[in-house]
Structures are given as structure tokens and as C-alpha cells.
Chains A and B, each alone.
Chain A
């Protein structure tokens, strides 16, 4: 044991005690045992890729929100909260809750009734192979890149916090993920996501509790931030969004409302198959509608363990953190704020729990990516384009191999992520490329029966092309920032919001125009896929408290109250 400790530990932020190490190792053993236990239940394609469609609303809802709560999310947004203040909470509130409610109440019935295995699978039924193939390829690329980003985030944490060798962290964690997902498929991924959800909450919740005790509550924290960073506003969500120059994010309220809330978050939460797959595993349509609504309440609470630690870092940390691109030897970066806060308050035992939460977040994030990748590859690329007819067992076997291969490809992509100064900038750029135009394609397809297969494909292609073009124009020539992001003062995240807005707008305009000049599908082929031709079950006979729409409205009302409190 001492040799093991000596090997993995060198220069680091904290030292793990033996009890911390026992907590970390127990988690690895535990998830592997669960994976082997679940293997016997993942025998058919429906089991392996869709968890048998037997999950309750609570399990599907927790997995839905947990699939988005990886280590990247924790570290990246805690770092963003240190860098931008409470503005980062927009990504949890207006940038998530309306979209989750929209998914549950409006879009999920179409996904569920059509019995699709995936979002590209829905496009296949609605638009045909061209749009589906394009979506599947872009999703597969994005998923593998995201998996690499997660791996990079985890390896950096292990290196900075514990001094662990980067290759050791990557290989041990990713091989564990590969084994348990290949064994139990989506069952394993969802079980692990629920475990991770609880681990993250109980591993990180002590930071805001002890932090607020140290600062004397919210007002004490705000006073300390103002003393440490005079003339900067880190604690108001809307007041400083009147002009790009008035806030540290370089953001305007139009970017938050139209770019983030109306396009990017809608695109992510309603069409990113990584999260939608969790809801598709629900046992019936009511559970499928309720799962995102349940998830929305937990999502609203996440800033407590992600944004608040970043703000507390502004208040109590003795040093000023810097961007990764400007860090000198011995300096800590924004992304280090959460581990630094963990080290500040947590001794042996609690430190092990916090580190396990981060490792679990990484592993769950990666498991989510590879399980979604395996499904899309097998059902949306391999089956329609390579082998159309094969026994179910063949596709399950393909899914298992694809899981293993996906993990190893993402190890390679982890090194791509290292080339970017900010992890979150990288991820936001990826979302903008693929997710924003996809939202336009899926939504138009669900709501307007006139949209034609050709229009769906060309709209998606035009939106993606516009997104990539705008991204590179703004990256390589700053003059374009004023054109696309409305002001030369718009910074990275603001640019991403407007990039998404333009991409989605391009997709919608091209889709509508092409639809007007091409032949639509007959109504008989669109039943169950389009709003006007689908009989969605109504809920008149259920009590108020059992209706997803009631809880959805309650979530939106809570969201409005939070905006007013932190205005």
C-alpha cells in the first residue's frame, strides 16, 4: 500500500490518507460489481441500449440530470463562477429549466410514441436516411470529443489535486467504465449515474455549508467579494447585462435570452441524445414526461454545489486564480477552485468522499457518452448503412464492442482538449456546431407537417455549416465578432451564444424555404411523428399532483422567483 501511495503521489495540492484511498477504491470495486450483476439483465437490444424501457420517472429523471453533471460540469462551472460570478448560474436556470420542461411536456410524447431508439432514429422516421445519417455522424463525433473532454478534466484534477500520473488516471478510470458499460449497457450507465448523483451531492455539499459558516452567510460572502474585488459585480444575474462591457463575461442579455435560453439550452436538453436517451428508458409515457420535470428541480439546486463554491472562492481564497492560458508555475487556475475549496474544508475521509465524487462524475459522464455513442453507432449508422438485417444478438454484440472501441478513441481525443485554454469554451463551441441547428430541424419536424425530407437535410447541413463558419471567422478575425455577436466587446461565451442563434436561424430559414419548393411526405407516413397528426394522451382523469404539467408550471414559477431574488 505504501509503495502504491508513493508511486501515485508526488507534488500535489492535497495528500490522500489511507481512509481516503479506501473510499476511492471501494467505489471502483462497487461499480464493477454492479456492472457484472447487471450483465445478465442486458441480453436483448432493447435491454442493452434502452435499459428495457423499465425505468421509473425518478430513476430516469435523476439519470437525465446526472448525465449532465460530470466532473467537467463541476470543475468547469465552479471555475466559471469564480471567473464570471453568479452569471454562470444562468446555465443552470434560464439556460436549462425551460428547456427541460419543454422536453417533458411538448417533445417527449413524440419521441416516446414513435418508439425511437435515438434522436437520429426519430429523424430517420421523420425525414429519412440523409438527415438521420448527418445527425448520427455529427453526434458520434461530438460524443467522442465530449468523452475526451471529460477524461481530460478528470486527469487534470487528479494531477493537480493528488499529483497522480495523468496516464494512470486516464487508463484506470476509462477501463473501469469500458468494462461496466460493456457488461450492463444502459442499465449500468443509469445505475452509475444515480449513484454519482448522490455522491456528488454528499461529496460537495459540505463546501457551501462550511463556506457560508466561515463567511457569516450570504451577505458576509458578498461583502468579502466586494472587498477582494472592488468595483466588480459578481453577485447579480441581470443587473449587469445591459451592455457587454458591464460584466466580466462580456455578455448581453439578448445573448442569454435568445442565444442561451431559446436556442442553445433548448437544443442541448431536447435533442442531445446523451440526455434524451435517459428519458427514453422510462417505463411509460407519463414517466417519460415527468422525468425531465423531476430533473428540472434538481438542476435548479445544482448551483448550490457548483456556483456557490466558486463565489465562496472569490470570498475566502487568499490567492487570486488566473486563466489556464496565463498560469505561471505555482499559480492556480479558475478550474482549480473546487479542489482548492475541497482541500480548504475537508480532512481525511471527507476528502476521499469529495475526490470520489469527482471521479464518479467523470466516470458517469464518460459512461453516458459511450453508451449513447454505442446506441447511435449501432442503430443509426451500422444498421442502416452497413448491415441492415442481422439477429438482435448481433447488434447487442456490436454495442458491446462499440463501447470498448469508443472508450479507446476518446482516450485519444482527451489530448485534443488540452489544446484549448478553457474547457468550457471548447464544449460550448461543440454544442454550437451540432446541437443548435439540430434543434431547429427536430422542432420544425415535430410541429409542421409541411417540412419535407429534403428540407430537413439541407436545413441541418446549412445550420451546421453556418455554425462552423461563424466559429472560425470569429476566432481568426476579431472584426467578425462585432458582426455576429453584435459588439466587439463580446467575449468567448457570448460569442458562442450568438453563434448558436445564427446557426439555428440559418437552419430554420433554409428548412422553411426548401419545404415550400419540395414535395412533403403524405400524412399517412407522419402519424405519431408530427403534432397535428398525433393523438397525444391527455391527463384530464389524473389528479392535479400526478400531472407533469402541474409540476412543470411549479418549476417555472420557482425559476422566476430565483431570477427576482438574484436579479
Chain B
């Protein structure tokens, strides 16, 4: 049972997921900047700021809940 205190917090996994998705979505948004897809309100470039938001949240969770060696 004592080993379970070493489980990586679920928040770290949330951070990794957000970070990876943020990078992919931001990259996609930047790539289509000059020729946005035929969606409603595409001129707002939602993937760019949504991707940036995911990166910021993901980086925060990764740093705050990164695995640490127990003393």
C-alpha cells in the first residue's frame, strides 16, 4: 500500500494531454491562418487562441504536478 503514495497525480496526465493537444491545435491554427476552413466565425481563428490556452494550462499542470522523487 505504501507504494501508492508514489502514483503520479492524475493532474500531471491532464497536463500532458493538454500540452500535446495545445501544440497540435495551435500548429493547425497557424497553418490555416491565411486560408481558414469553411466554418462559421473562422475569421476569429479559434484554434490559435484555444491552442494557446491549452498549452498554458497544460504547462501549468505539468510543472505543478510533475513526478518528484520521494525523500
Residues of A bordering B, CB below 8 Å: 17, 19, 22-23, 26-27, 30, 34, 37-38, 40-41, 44, 47, 52, 54, 59, 187, 190-191, 194-195, 198-199, 202, 206, 210, 213-214, 316, 343-350, 352-353
Contact = CB atoms under 8 A, between A and B. Distances in A.
Most B C-beta atoms less than 10 A away, residue of A17, A40, A199, A350: A350
23 contacts: A22-B24, A23-B25, A30-B17, A47-B1, A195-B13, A195-B14, A199-B17, A202-B18, A202-B54, A210-B40, A213-B41, A214-B40, A343-B39, A345-B39, A345-B40, A345-B41, A345-B46, A347-B28, A347-B42, A348-B32, A349-B27, A352-B24, A352-B25
Given A206-B46, A349-B51, A214 B17 contact: no
B37 A348 contact: yes
Given A17-B28, A348-B32, 11 more contacts: A19-B24, A19-B25, A23-B24, A34-B13, A52-B1, A206-B50, A213-B41, A345-B46, A348-B47, A349-B27, A350-B50
Contacts of A41: 3-4, 7
A23 B50 CA distance: 15
Given A23-B24, A347-B36, A349-B29, A198 B14 contact: yes
Interface in B26-63: 27-29, 32, 36-37, 39-42, 44, 46-47, 50-51, 54
A352 B54 CA distance: 14
B67 to A, nearest CB: 11
Contact of B17 (A198, A316, A352): A198
B47 A350 contact: yes
B45 to A, nearest CB: 10
Nearest to B36: A347
A346 B50 CA distance: 11
Most B C-beta atoms less than 10 A away, residue of A37, A198, A210, A353: A198
A194 B15 CA distance: 12
B36 to A, nearest CB: 7
Nearest to A198: B14
A44 B1 CA distance: 9
B20 interface: yes
Contacts of B10: 59, 190-191, 194-195
Given A23-B24, A30-B17, A346 B39 contact: yes
A214 B41 contact: yes
A218 to B, nearest CB: 17
A187 to B, nearest CB: 8
Nearest to B15: A198
Contacts of A59: 10
A206 B39 CA distance: 13
Nearest to B51: A349
A353 B13 contact: no
A553 B46 CA distance: 38
Nearest to A62: B10
Contacts of A316: 40
Contacts of B42: 347
Nearest to A194: B10
A344 B39 contact: yes
A353 B40 contact: no
Nearest to B5: A54
A348 B45 CA distance: 11
Contacts of B16: 30
A116 to B, nearest CB: 20
Q: Please indicate which of the listed interface residues A194, A316, A343 has the most CB atoms of chain B within 10 Å of its own CB.
A: A194
A247 B1 CA distance: 55
Contacts of B8: 37
A346 B29 CA distance: 11
A202 B36 CA distance: 21
A52 B7 CA distance: 12
A485 B63 CA distance: 56
